[in-house]
Amino acid sequence: MQYISTRDSSLRYSAAQAIVQGLSRDGGLFLPESIPALTTQDLQDLVGMTYQQRAVKVMKAYLDEFTEVELAEYAAKAYAVPGKFNDAAVTPIHSTHHKTHFLELWHGPTCAFKDMALQMLPYLLTASLRKTGEEKTACILVATSGDTGKAALEGFRDVDGTRIMVFYPKDGVSEIQQLQMVTQEGKNVDVCAVVGNFDDAQTGVKTIFSDEALRAELASRGYFLSSANSINWGRVLPQIVYYVATYAELVKRGDIQMGDKINFCVPTGNFGNILAGYYAKRMGVPIDKLLCASNANNVLTDFIRTGIYDRNRPFHNTLSPSMDILISSNLERLLYLLSGSDAEVRGYMEQLNKTGRYEVSKDMLEKIQDNFLCGFCDDERTTNAIGKVFSHGKYLMDTHTAVAYTVMMDHRAATGDATPTVVVSTASPFKFCDSVLTALGVTDQRTGVEILDQLAEVSGKAAPAPLAGLKGKARRFDQVVEKQQMTDVVREALV
């Protein structure tokens, strides 16, 4: 299977080349030229498999040049229990009702859903380096709104042939998220705060990728640039797995019958997570609707409702910071999937770059609305949802999961839709202790990592070991720069 650019479909790359390069040189995103199909028998076969085996089955369909033996080795290591994940199911499903299920994607080493892809990506990338004969060191640039940074740092820590640099928005992540990054261990890691928001950091990384002079300079020093953000197909692919696996698991548990339709409600910022769900649907998983849940930065809600993408709006720092995004990069892949036209996508992206907005065609909007529903939730309702769900059934949600839960409940109230729905739970509540404690009625809160113990005492839940392990760890990274200085940071670090 070949991979093409969303902005120039005449370009053809192998999977290994696309994963190594990360972002197409024309600024577009790589995606497979076709979507493999899963038959009903394929889905039935998945029911009896482990998560690791399901990962091999799904990823092999997209990775012609990787053998099943290779992928099985990577899956065994990436999703090792114990060692990497603390639950035998890897992605356990918690049901609060026979038609309401929480897919917990935060049982990995950094307690966020990004582990599902970023524990696999280092294996895919290093194998791709071998397959393409690349001898230079991969400098992996990451912009993070909170969770990707730590997951990428942990995934690539001391991986041979790589160097990783993470940029996060100063004052735009939770205290625990920041502590996870600035205390990161490893010889090949760098972390830097950027004055501004996530979009500033993400735009800065994209600018670095498109700087031909910098790329030539780094090549002369033995480096090339790659990405661990969801602009890299190697990030999106492992996420498709858990949508497919969840359907198989619900059948295995008897919650649904093979062929029954289900919905997924996904807290959404950069659109990579929910895009993976769309790929699963296109592969043949019986998914009815994908509910795109936004916080107060509801650019995606407006887009799905109107077909107008407009980032020219106030940016809000919310209780769900990993969704504080106004430029949803992976939406570009969806636009190509629905239009099949690189020229059309290129036109939209040029408009976005010049004016901060674009409007899709009527036909495109109809296709989007056939597959996606949307809604948003402000901080007050996020807080209320956490408190209400915990008081009713002692189930503890983080702020991002609470956004998705609220949007799902809004949809049910408005439509009467009784389709079984999976709420994609993207982070441990202990990553956002202050917000969760507030939702539980606790106003006198401890500071630093001591707040982890406080939430444990109040909720009766144990803090995950990776977060509890932050106690006593030394801060290693305190650099703060303006967004215009990001290129200089990369240049100076790679000497």
Average pLDDT over residues 44-60: 98
In contact, 414 and 425? CB cutoff 8 Å? no
Burial class (CB in 10 A: 0-12, 13-18, 19+), 172: buried
**Residues 288-329: pLDDT tens digits?**
999 999 999 999 999 999 999 999 999 999 999 999 999 999
In contact, 186 and 476? CB cutoff 8 Å? no
In whole angstroms, what is the distance from residue 228 CA to residue 148 CA?
Answer: 8
Catalytic residue (choose from 57, 114, 281, 289): 114
Reported confidence tier of residue 229, pLDDT bands at 50, 70, 90: confident
CA-wise closest residue to 327 among 453, 205, 189:
205
Average pLDDT over residues 192-204: 94
**362 in catalytic set:** no
In contact, 309 and 273? CB cutoff 8 Å? no
pTM of the model: 0.95
Which neighbouring-strand residues pair with 424? 103
Examine the pLDDT at 337 and tell me if it is beyond 90. yes
Residues, the chain: 495
Reported confidence tier of residue 210, pLDDT bands at 50, 70, 90: confident
**Residues 143-188: pLDDT tens digits?**
998 899 999 999 999 999 999 999 999 999 999 999 999 999 999 9
**Residues 416-474: pLDDT tens digits?**
999 999 999 999 999 999 999 999 999 999 999 999 999 999 999 999 999 999 999 99
In contact, 399 and 431? CB cutoff 8 Å? no
As a whole number, the mean pLDDT across the chain is: 96
Average pLDDT over residues 207-218: 92
In contact, 138 and 175? CB cutoff 8 Å? no
As a whole-number percent, the residues of the chain with pLDDT over 90 amount to 96
Task: Say which residues have a Cβ less than 8 Å from residue 409's Cβ, sequence separation at least 6.
Answer: 385
In contact, 147 and 178? CB cutoff 8 Å? no
pLDDT at 495: 78
In whole angstroms, what is the distance from residue 207 CA to residue 210 CA?
Answer: 5
In contact, 221 and 492? CB cutoff 8 Å? no
Query: What is the SS3 string spanning the chain?
Result: CCEEECCEEEEEECHHHHHHHCCCCCCCCEEECCCCCCCHHHHHHHHCCCHHHHHHHHHHCCCCCCCHHHHHHHHHHHCCCCCCCCCCCCCCEEEEECCEEEEECCCCCCCECCHHHHCCHHHHHHHHHHHHCCCCEEEEEEECCCHHHHHHHHHHCCCCCEEEEEEEECCCCCHHHHHHHHCCCCCCEEEEEEECCHHHHHHHHHHHHCCHHHHHHHHHCCEEEEECCCCCHHHHHHHHHHHHHHHHHHHHHCCCCCCCCEEEEEECCCCHHHHHHHHHHHHCCCEEEEEEEECCCCHHHHHHHHCEEECCCCCCCCCCHHHCCCCCCCHHHHHHHHHCCHHHHHHHHHHHHHHCEEECCHHHHHHHHHHEEEEECCHHHHHHHHHHHHHHHCCCCCHHHHHHHHHHHHHHHHHCCCCCEEEEECECHHHHHHHHHHHCCCCCCCCCCHHHHHHHHHHCCCCCHHHHCCCCCCCCCCCEEEHHHHHHHHHHHCC
Average pLDDT over residues 29-48: 97
pLDDT at 320: 97
pLDDT at 138: 95
pLDDT at 398: 98
**Residues 60-109: pLDDT tens digits?**
999 999 999 999 999 999 999 999 999 999 999 999 999 999 999 999 99
Question: Which residue type, as a one-letter code, is found at position 339?
Answer: S
Examine the pLDDT at 196 and tell me if it is beyond 90. yes
pLDDT at 172: 92
Name the phi and psi angles at 488, rounded to 5: -65, -35
Examine the pLDDT at 25 and tell me if it is beyond 90. no
